[in-house]
């Protein structure tokens, strides 16, 4: 299928969280239906989807029925079991494609891919046992951070080493999982660039946003970011480099550390990204519609920004602030309809328009 | 129920067309679920709703189950059978309330209400038979337009009288339905004001838009409209007058003729309105979210406009233009996912941002 997806076609989305929810709304805006596949009950995306399948990724019958009911498949998170992808791909195109998933599912593969592209990354080493960890510490130094190669998210599966003596304890934290040691980067701030590539190879980037994290979770993204014109150009070029090499179709989030030695790629996410939520109130075509356009084989929006925006995540008890936020003139609320408030859980976000441009 | 509706509450929406669809998306953005009640199969709103009931307004069992499943009820069109409303209202609050429906369901009642408020309307007369029609023509003159008192929409149920001799033929067009004769108004252009009133009585208005119709169907709405500052103030005051008198809760569309003798009220619609679609790309809180906020007992957005916008309806074959429209930088697409393209059918709309302000 390379023709543009017609009105009324169905886009299958793996994962029913807030990203799937906002993708679903964007798909509807373009006249598409969505079908959500999600193991958890009552997924946030289910409230705005045409159909929902509640099943595990090991349920082949459910996967097959899901694939048969949709025209193309995309996803809101990268850690989808390989066997499920194999089965789905036999029936329908998966966009973005498998290579992007393979790379982003494994921190070591990802870092190696980026380095081989000529991009800067933090120093890193493959860790298989205590000996390889000690050798890596000798080379990279401390402080450093030990991470599982797979299934990391929002700061989970990570152990910080303040000194070489922490090696054994940090390795125990990995519980035997393959790991990667990453050296610290001396950066002034973190930005991310949300880039998209269409089925025809067209690339479009949104303006980079500047990210602030708290406890390993994104707190705010501010556009415009503090970047020189040359740094912005670098960000666009390196994102295009990554997308083109992967023959990528869809939106990708690329996190970057800003240093005197240039931009260092922290990580890539082959999907819409929390740091791109500001586009909902800053661009005519936001990151969710951009992703749907790419996946559907439609022309991309150009990423033009028409406002300065601060996106702030509403995490856990931040929901208590909603009544006050609802009274602020330039605040756009985006709540996810999650039934239970939990500490550290992303419940919604606001986009505060600070200036029309 | 006068407390603000909490996260996860369900808003029932009568009618599953494009207005219900866009209301449903706005409700989700605030963390609410929606349940659509619609007699027709596969309603556009169903693709973005938590639940859909497909049943007739005469189906009391279905109405009761619907009412039991929701926290508050609103609607996307005003011609809901009275018996259905009676049944629903016994279970759950209906917002906007019954008085607004009673008035807007009947052109004669509506015109009389507006005149009694001290507002200007076109000259009108109650028509029950040929004698009353001839008497009305003698007073109002021709050209004039004969309309059924109830169930008019997009120019249906109307007959134009060019001369007194047309009386009998026009009356035959009414097929025995109660009718109203309206005189023509000599106006320079038509505008509409989208106004909202909260549960606490707070009133907020969006900037008036200027409407152009073709074949009785809205073609474009442009903001800002050609209005003096005094005319804008008049529009706000008369809208607030109407909303307050009705103890209204929700968004209302008020269509106005601009004349040298001031603003003349054409008609009111107790719901979100096609001429308010521009707010989706011109305001932080659009008319759909504004309506949901009111219905949910939340604070209203203030209606502040941050862009000049031209909204254009995509009617019937206009859908052929979508591939080109998708390539235009400042065009936001809003398609309704209707399966069948028909002449005169509203299939979607675009908001073209002509200037950021």
Whole-number Å distance between alpha carbons of B211 and B221? 4
How many CB atoms within 10 Å of residue B255? 18
Chain-chain contact of A47 with B50 (C-beta, under 8 angstroms): yes
pLDDT tens-digit series, residues A40-76: 999 999 999 999 999 999 999 999 999 999 999 999 9
Residue A271 has pLDDT above 90, yes or no: yes
pLDDT tens-digit series, residues A66-125: 999 999 999 999 989 999 999 999 999 999 999 999 999 999 999 999 999 999 999 999
In this prediction, residue B152 carries a pLDDT of 62
Interface residue A28 vs chain B (CB under 8 A): yes
Interface residue B35 vs chain A (CB under 8 A): no
The CA-atom distances, in angstroms, between A171 and each of A65, A109, A127 are 42, 20, 9
Whole-number Å distance between alpha carbons of A85 and A104? 14
Chain-chain contact of A304 with B329 (C-beta, under 8 angstroms): yes
Interface residue B3 vs chain A (CB under 8 A): no
Among B30, B302, B356, the residue with its CB nearest the CB of A329 is B302
ipTM associated with this complex: 0.93
Residue B136 has pLDDT above 70, yes or no: yes
Interface residue A8 vs chain B (CB under 8 A): yes
Is residue B211 within 8 A of residue B292, CB to CB? The reply is: no
User: Which domains, from first to last, does chain B contain?
Assistant: 10-94 (3.40.50.20), 123-183 (3.30.1490.20), 189-356 (3.30.470.20)
Residues of chain B in contact with residue A283, where contact means CB-CB under 8 angstroms, are none
Interface residue A304 vs chain B (CB under 8 A): yes
B175's CB contacts (< 8 A; 6+ apart) are: none
Three-state SS for A161?
strand
Chain-chain contact of A32 with B298 (C-beta, under 8 angstroms): no
Residue A1 has pLDDT above 50, yes or no: no
Nearest Cα neighbor of A47 from A19, A24, A63, A71 is A24
Question: A352 to chain B nearest CA, in Å?
Answer: 9
pLDDT tens-digit series, residues B51-89: 999 999 999 999 999 999 999 999 999 989 999 999 999
How many CB atoms within 10 Å of residue A41? 10
Q: What is the DSSP string of B43-56?
A: -GGGGG-SEEEE--
In this prediction, residue A155 carries a pLDDT of 57
Interface residue B25 vs chain A (CB under 8 A): yes
Q: Residues 36-55, chain B: which have Cβ within 8 Å of A?
A: 46-50
Is residue B170 within 8 A of residue B161, CB to CB? The reply is: yes
Interface residue A29 vs chain B (CB under 8 A): yes
Size of interface A-B (CB pairs under 8 A): 109
Chain-chain contact of A326 with B48 (C-beta, under 8 angstroms): no
- Which residues of B are documented as binding site for ATP? 107, 147, 152-158, 182-185, 190, 213, 266-267
């Amino acid at each position: 299928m390379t023709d543009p997806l017609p009105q009324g076609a169905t886009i299958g989305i793996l994962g029913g969280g807030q990203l799937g929810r906002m993708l679903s709304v964007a798909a509807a805006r373009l006249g598409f239906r969505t079908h959500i596949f999600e193991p958890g009950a009552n997924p946030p995306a289910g409230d705005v989807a045409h159909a929902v399948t509640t099943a595990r990724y090991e349920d082949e019958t459910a996967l097959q029925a899901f694939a048969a009911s949709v025209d193309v498949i995309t996803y809101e998170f990268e850690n989808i079991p390989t066997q499920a992808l194999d089965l789905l791909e036999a029936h329908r195109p998966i966009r973005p494609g498998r290579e992007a998933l393979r790379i982003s599912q494994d921190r070591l593969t990802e870092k190696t891919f980026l380095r081989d592209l000529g991009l800067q990354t933090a120093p890193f080493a493959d860790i298989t046992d205590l000996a390889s960890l000690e050798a890596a510490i000798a080379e990279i130094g401390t402080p450093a951070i030990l991470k599982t190669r797979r299934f990391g998210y929002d700061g989970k599966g990570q152990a910080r080493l303040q000194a070489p003596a922490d090696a054994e304890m940090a390795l125990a934290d990995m519980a035997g999982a393959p790991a990667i040691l990453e050296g610290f980067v001396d950066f002034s701030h973190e930005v991310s660039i949300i880039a998209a590539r269409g089925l025809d190879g067209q690339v479009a980037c949104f303006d980079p946003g500047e990210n602030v994290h708290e406890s390993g979770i994104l707190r705010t993204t501010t556009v415009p970011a503090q970047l020189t014109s040359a740094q912005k150009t670098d960000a666009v070029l390196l994102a295009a480099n990554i997308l083109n090499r992967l023959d990528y179709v869809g939106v990708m989030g690329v996190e970057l550390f800003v240093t005197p030695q240039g931009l260092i790629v922290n990580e890539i996410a082959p999907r819409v990204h929390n740091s791109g939520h500001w586009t909902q109130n800053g661009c005519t075509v936001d990151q969710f519609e951009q992703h749907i356009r790419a996946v559907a084989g439609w022309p991309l929006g150009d990423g033009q920004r028409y406002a300065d925006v601060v996106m702030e995540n509403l995490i856990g008890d931040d929901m208590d602030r909603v009544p006050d936020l609802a009274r602020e003139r330039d605040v756009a609320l985006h709540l996810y309809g999650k039934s239970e408030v939990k500490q550290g859980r992303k419940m919604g976000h606001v986009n505060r328009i600070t200036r029309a441009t």
